[in-house]
Amino acid sequence: MAKKLIVIGAGMASGRMLEHLIDANPDAYDITLFNAEPRGNYNRLMLSPVLSGEKTYEDIVTHDAAWYEERGVTCRFGEKVVAIDTAAKLVTGEKGTLPYDKLVIATGSNPFIIPLPGHDLEGVIPYRDLEDTEAMMALGADKRAVVIGGGLLGLEAAAGMAARGTEVDVVHIMGHLMERQLDEAAGYLLRRSLTEKGIRVHCKANSKQILSDGNGHVRALQLDDGTELPCDLLVMAVGIRPSTALGKEAGLEVNRGIVVDDHMVTSNPDVLALGECVEHAGAIFGLVAPLYDQAKVLAKTLLGEEARFVQKEVATKLKVTGCDLFSAGDFAEGEGREDIVFRDPARGVYKRLILEGNRLIGAVMYGDTADGAWFHGLIKDATDVEEMRETLIFGPAYQGGGRCGPYGGRCSLTA
Amino acid sequence: MDGSGLPEIRSTCAYCGVGCGVLLRPDGAGGLDVRGDPAHPANKGRLCSKGSQLGETLGLEGRLLKPRVNGLDSEWDAALDLVALRFRETIAEHGPDSVAFYVSGQMLTEDYYVANKLMKGFIGSANIDTNSRLCMASTVAGHKRAFGTDTVPGTYDDLEEADLVVLVGSNLAWCHPVLYQRVVAAKKARPQMKVVVVDPRRTATCDNADLHLPLKPGTDVALFNGLLTEIAAQGAVDEGFMAHVEGFVATLESASDDDPARTGLDAATLQQFYDLFVRTEKVVTVFSQGVNQSSSGTDKVNSILNCHLATGRIGKPGMGPLSVTGQPNAMGGREVGGLANMLACHLDIENISHRSAVREFWSAPVIADKPGLKAVDLFQAVGEARIKALWVIHTNPAVTMPDADRVRDAIKDCPFVVVSDITAATDTARLAHVLLPATSWGEKEGTVTNSDRTISRQRGALPAPGEARPDWEILSEVGKRMGWPSEFDYASPAEIFREHAALSGVAGGFGKDFDISGHADLTDGDYAALAPFRWPYAGTRRGGRFFGDGAFYTESGRARMVPVKWKDFAQKTAPRFPFRFNTGRIRDQWHTMTRTARSPRLSAHLAEPFLEIHPEDAAELAISPASLVRVTSTHGTALLRALVTDKVQKGEVFAPMHWTGETAPAARVDALVPPVTDPISGQPESKGAVVALAPFAARWYGFAVSCTEMAPESDYWAVARAESGWRLEMAGSEAPADWETEARRLFRLPRAEVQVVSDPRRGSVRIAFHAEGRLLAALFVSPEPVGVMRSHVATLPGAEAPHVLTGRAPADQPDPGPVVCACFNVGVNTILDGIETQGLMSVDAIGAALQAGSNCGSCRPELAALLARAKTPTPEAAE
């Protein structure tokens, strides 16, 4: 008889993991899937196109209840898990307790809400799920919104609302937008593009408090210089926190996230975890690529196959039409680091490559990101780029054929 | 207006001494369509790369259109008055020898005639010399020593009739390409015909040779003395012809004393050449600057003539020495007497009856009675302020003279300098007090004489632009204003030609060979329609060959064999200056490039100055291919691009002589050449300097393209025309603080949209400027010779080129590579690709498939080299 597998959380990571597992061996486990939200999973990455109206919810659903049922997965959607007993290997949901042989925790993360005065007013939301998205979509024209957070998510939220006619202010505490992915120059170009879309961007701006309209609803955000930014909706997009409560209560080792080893196994050998709730080698995860890698590893671990999760450089793309940016690797300045920069302000194109020794370690691009995947590959593979350095920044179309020969290539002589 | 309905106008090419006929048709847009004249005896329709592109060199850009006095535009009258006044005053105060004319083998005979008449018959000095002094004065002297006259015995047709053609110090394939093509065609038709090349370098001419003798530079006399000895030893002396020759015994004795081993050639190779020469009756020996430009140039000429005299192989079909001149009308200059040691029409300055006859003919107030200053001495005299008024016509001595920097300074300090030219943008014109705008090739009317005595009409097909005037008219106007109104009252070149022809009749009366008095009565209409003819043309004498009949022009009537011995260069190599510095021409440029540099196609082949250096020498000195070399001599210094090649021998280097202060100011190679001359001919030793070489410590190298003219200031720069603008190579020992600022200054684009790629740690940066989506200019800088596919990037200015900074053609648009075939603009990569992918196995197959080499043929040696390279793949071939 098949072993019992319980999965807590129907997000992108667990969905992908189950896909791998069932594809490899549909009969290995008897699977039960808990999900606090009353639905299967959708591609959270694609919420922004839904917000901006480029896609609908139906477009972004990846694994709905029917998909799971077809594969014999018992879905307990809309039911929260309330306790885990690792000694007895039991999971208790709101509607009852089940035994497991293996347990997978994929509870994801919670958006971080800055505890500003007024953060609990009506109309103050994070940007995390379909409900948040729908709230923003519902706002419409003639209304005003403030987004706190000039990172990836905040900007997608701002651009999505702006596309629907909402007047949007973005408040960002740092000197330039997306400072974790962009350098100052690219951040400047991004800011310029957003400004052209009508979005007002406030950098180096500290939020002081959220003001009420007197009826418990948000009226404005006040900055510490006294500026008031009126709004009907305030979106906080200032980061996420791994959702670790269940794990902690179950007695698993938890730091910032639920600690897993290279096999995605927690401190309890029968409990595994993946996704935004885990911490691996000190790192937590917010982008999709490593989550999919984890899904692959975890599925193999469940099948008793050897697989290890290895953290790789992660590339970022911002899904805002007209703001084509790409960022990968490490681009902080430092000893022994050299950079190659391409600037084309008239066309709004900026590229910066960061090298250490003969290896590419980081890439930031704005305005023309067609070669992003290629650069990302060079970073991940630690390719020796010395021979291509002269034309490296121009991408793969200008490689090959080797270096220019001396005559005709390095002087004006024919020989 | 499209000129296609108009009849073509017959003229001759502007360039070398082959004197090819061209057919000109105005294109209605101020230009000319140019093709070879099938009816002209010199070329029979062929043209070389330079001649084919004559049309690209026209246009008014850079033309001098109005007289200038002290840098300001002037009226003709004022300028001419000033010239006449200053010459008159100078003569009055310091005597006639305090003034000088320095003229050019590019002047037409009629222009030359008036200049010579004015100086020798009216000013009364012989201080008129010409840039032909740098070209073939040694041949003039050698001819006169041997024949008693400066006469080329044979004709070009001898090249086809010969069984052996010996090319001495002549890169005929690049410098006289049409004659070379005639030799190639003859050899193809008669494969038994042999070709021998005597040259220290393995030039393009060697491609067609059966034997190449890479002798040590300057050992030609030893080689031909060895030949003479062998001729005697093998019993090949023409005893019958010896009746017409004197000096045989002494000459042979002197020759046998010489040691052909000095040539550095092994005995077997020498013997192979000697046997070939001795056993082949029909031999033509073609010689050029490798012989002439030497402190023993006259001896070299005579060492060659000696062998032809000894064997009687002269002036007969397929036999004889054939000097080929570098300029279109060097020969015309020799005929009118435009050299300081000649009088006029082959008459002698030292001969009192010749002087009286000429003076009487000209009704001249005075007549020069002693030779004037030859070029090197003339500019020395300018430097010592003995010459106080100088008139330079259509030549660029500040670049081309030996010790050119000193010559430039001398001209600069001369109290009064007049320059007649078509442009103000030459190193010499920039030093003039008075600049006179002259008409150019394509506009002017007159005659020229080529290397086989054929006199052809040059005809105008375009109107004179601006206020430009013909040289004969400018010279006549000054003559009139100096006080001889009727003597210089010419209405047309036809009138001058008639006078010249009549004077040659006077010479004929003295028994001289140059006599064209049969044309002294040509009507203007006859002159207009004059067909090419070979001199003499008088009485019953018509062209033909000289000396086959044993009649010479010495006092005794017999030819003189001249005892000569090998002499070393004036400068000896020494530890401080270990390299022998050879100079010369390249295929697609002409002299100081005032005309050819305007053609993008001609500029594409070798678009910057260079130094050919042997790979072993380069390795020893850590000079890498395409890096820059500092060349230093006893007299000057230059920066040149290293072209590492085993075409030159170890210890020898070669540099082209074309670049100037206008095109590459650090590459004025004649600044390195010492002002030493042949004691007889006065011709400088332009190929015999000794130099030291060192890598140039460039902090940066740059390449730039631009729609408009640039303002380079770096230690090294070389500018050339590109299809749509200009291209520029640069290098410097110090980098500017900010490259974008520097680029905006260089391109004069203070506000244009910029695109930048920088790799600051490596010191490389690429900057482009665009306007309205089109590329204005781009600069590429790197700490090493900058890697940019020149042939691609040079086409981009003016085009939409968002990816210009890549410096490469995208993968789907192959780079044609540097141009090999200038006529059809075919690049080296296209040719190599054709060889590889289309299986092209011969030069003709390449021509059929890709057109390359199928027009002028100048690039056929290079195509053959590419075929050879493709058959034996090397690492370079892959690049």
Which CATH number do you get for residue A128? 3.50.50.60
A227 with A257, same domain: the answer is no
Specify the pLDDT at position A288. 83
- H-run or E-run covering B607: none
CA A159 to chain centre: 17
- Indicate whether B613 belongs to any domain: yes
Measure the CA–CA gap between A130 and B553, rounded to whole angstroms.
112
User: Do B853 and B721 sit in the same domain of this protein?
Assistant: no
Sign of the dihedral through C-alpha A255, A257, A260, A261: negative
Residue B604 shares a structural domain with residue B505: no
Q: How many domains does chain A have?
A: 3
Closest by CA position to B667, among listed B696, B647, B646, B645: B696
Which tokens sit at A316?
A: 């970022």
CATH number, position B851: 1.10.10.1100
Q: How far apart are the first and last CA of chain A?
A: 78
B223, B94: one domain: no
Examine residue B40 and state whether it is found in any structural domain, yes or no: yes
Residue A29, Cα to own-chain centre: how many angstroms?
30
CA distance B742 to B752: 13
Asked whether the predicted pLDDT for residue B291 surpasses 70, the reply is yes
For residues B392-408, give the mean pLDDT.
Answer: 98
Q: Which amino acid is at B159?
A: L
Rg (CA), chain A: 24
- Provide the 3-class DSSP secondary structure of residue B524: helix
pLDDT at residue B190 above 80?
yes
Sign, CA dihedral B347-B349-B351-B355, equals: positive
Give the B window 585-614 contacts with A, CB below 8 Å: 604-608, 610
Exposed, middle or buried: residue A9 (CB in 10 Å: 0-12, 13-18, 19+)?
A: buried
pLDDT digits (tens, 9 = 90+) for A367-385: 888 898 899 999 989 999 9
Query: Is the overall model pTM greater than 0.95, yes or no?
Result: no
Burial call B809-825: b when 16+ CB within 10 Å, e when fewer = beeeeebbbbbbbbbbb
Shared-domain flag, residues A105 and A246: yes
CB B777 within 8 A of CB B769: yes
Looking at residue B5, its pLDDT comes to 65
Q: What residues in B contact A413, CB-CB < 8 Å?
A: 606-608, 610, 626, 641, 643, 818
pLDDT (0 to 100) of residue A402: 60
Tell me the average pLDDT across A123-146.
91
Q: Which of A236, A259, A292 is the last residue before a domain boundary?
A: A236
- Greater model confidence, B814 or B85: B85
Q: Which of B13, B29, B57 is the last residue in one of the domains?
A: B57
Query: Which residues partner with B533 through β-bridges?
Result: B455
Do A285 and A360 fall into the same domain?
Answer: no
- Band the pLDDT of B80: cuts 50, 70, 90: very high
CATH of residue A399's domain is: 3.30.390.30
**Residue A402 sits in which domain range?**
324-406
Q: Which two tokens stand for residue A103?
A: 């347990």
| Residues 6 or more apart in contact with residue A87 via CB below 8 angstroms | none
Within this chain, do residues A75 and A138 fall inside the same structural domain, yes or no?
A: no
A117 in a structural domain = no
Q: Which pLDDT score is estimated for A398?
A: 86
- List, in order, residues 6 or more apart from B458 with CB less than 8 Å away: B11, B12, B108, B441, B444, B445, B446, B447, B448
Cα–Cα–Cα angle for A11, A15, A20, rounded to 5 degrees: 155
**Neighboring chain A residues of B879 at a CB cutoff of 8 Å:** 402, 404-406, 409
CATH number for the domain spanning B587: value is 2.40.40.20
For chain B, what is the mean pLDDT? Answer: 95
Q: Rounded CA gap, A69 and B661, in Å?
A: 85
Q: Which of B607, B624, B810 sits opposite A398 (nearest CB)?
A: B810
Residues A231 and A247 in one domain: no
Question: Would you give the end-to-end CA distance of chain B in angstroms?
Answer: 47
Q: Is A364 domain-assigned? A: yes
What mean pLDDT value characterizes chain A?
91
- For residues A142 and A232, membership in a common domain is answered with yes
Q: Is residue B19 located within the same domain as residue B78?
A: no
Q: Is residue A115 part of a domain?
A: no
Same domain, A210 and A357: no
Lowest-confidence range among A329-333, B232-236, B687-691? A329-333
For residues B767 and B864, state if they share a domain. Answer: no
* Best B610, B613, B808, B815 residue to mutate vs chain A (most A CBs within 10 Å): B808
Residue A10 lies in a domain: yes
Report CA-CA distances (Å) from B452 to A66, B143, B526: 100, 14, 23
Q: Is the ipTM of this complex over 0.90?
A: no
Q: How much is the pLDDT for A316?
A: 76
Residue B567 lies in a domain: no
In a domain, A415, yes or no: no
Question: Is pLDDT of A62 > 50?
Answer: yes
Distance (Å, rounded) from C-alpha A251 to C-alpha A86? 8
pLDDT (tens digit, 9 = 90+) per residue, B193-225? 999 999 999 999 999 999 999 999 999 999 999
pLDDT at B3 over 60: no
Q: Residues B306-363: pLDDT tens digits? A: 999 999 999 999 999 999 998 999 999 999 998 899 999 999 999 999 999 999 999 9
Domain membership of residue B558 (yes or no) is no
Clarify whether residues A106 and A130 are in a common domain: no
Do residues B776 and B690 both lie within one domain?
no
Same domain flag for A230 and A244: no
The pLDDT of residue B239 = 97
Higher-pLDDT residue of B664 and A61 is: B664
Q: Which of B638, B669, B695 is the last residue of a domain?
A: B695
B334 shares its domain with B317: no
CATH code at position B25: 2.20.25.90
Do B176 and B159 share a domain, yes or no? yes
- Domain holding B827, by residue range, is 819-878
Work out the average pLDDT over B826-855. Answer: 87
Is A118 part of any domain?
no
Interface of A with B in 312-341 (CB under 8 A): 338-341
Q: What is the pLDDT of residue B879?
A: 32
Q: Are residues A204 and A144 both part of a single domain?
A: yes
pLDDT at B4: 57
Residues of chain A found within 8 Å of residue B782, distances taken between Cβ atoms:
390
Residues B272, B164 share a domain = yes
Is position B753 within any domain? yes
Contact (CB<8Å) B757/A340: yes
Mean predicted confidence (pLDDT) in B421-439 = 97
Residues B342, B488, single domain; the answer is yes
Based on the structure, what is the number of domains in chain B?
Answer: 6
Q: CB A412 to CB B718 under 8 A?
A: yes
- Please check whether residues A229 and A249 belong to one and the same domain: no
- Whether A135 is covered by a domain: the verdict is yes
* A387 reaches B (C-beta below 8 A): no
* Of the residues A236, A260, A286, the one at which a domain ends: A236
Report which of A235, A258, A256, A248 is spatially closest to residue A13, judged by C-alpha positions: A258
pLDDT in tens, B219-262: 999 999 999 999 999 999 999 999 999 999 999 999 999 999 99
Partner residue facing A411 (CB), from B641, B862, B878: B641
CATH number (domain holding residue B193): 3.40.228.10
**Is A166 strand, coil or helix?**
coil
Contact status, residue A226 vs residue A207, Cβ threshold 8 Å: no
The model's confidence at residue B875, banded by pLDDT at 50, 70 and 90, is: very low
Give a yes or no: residue B812 inside a domain.
Answer: no
Q: Which CA distances in Å does B629 have to A260, A409, B619?
A: 64, 18, 13
The answer to the question of residue A411 being in a domain is no
CATH number at residue B519: 3.40.50.740
Among the candidates B265, B295, B323, a domain finishes at B323
Name which of A316-325, B493-502, B584-593, B637-646 the model is least confident about. A316-325
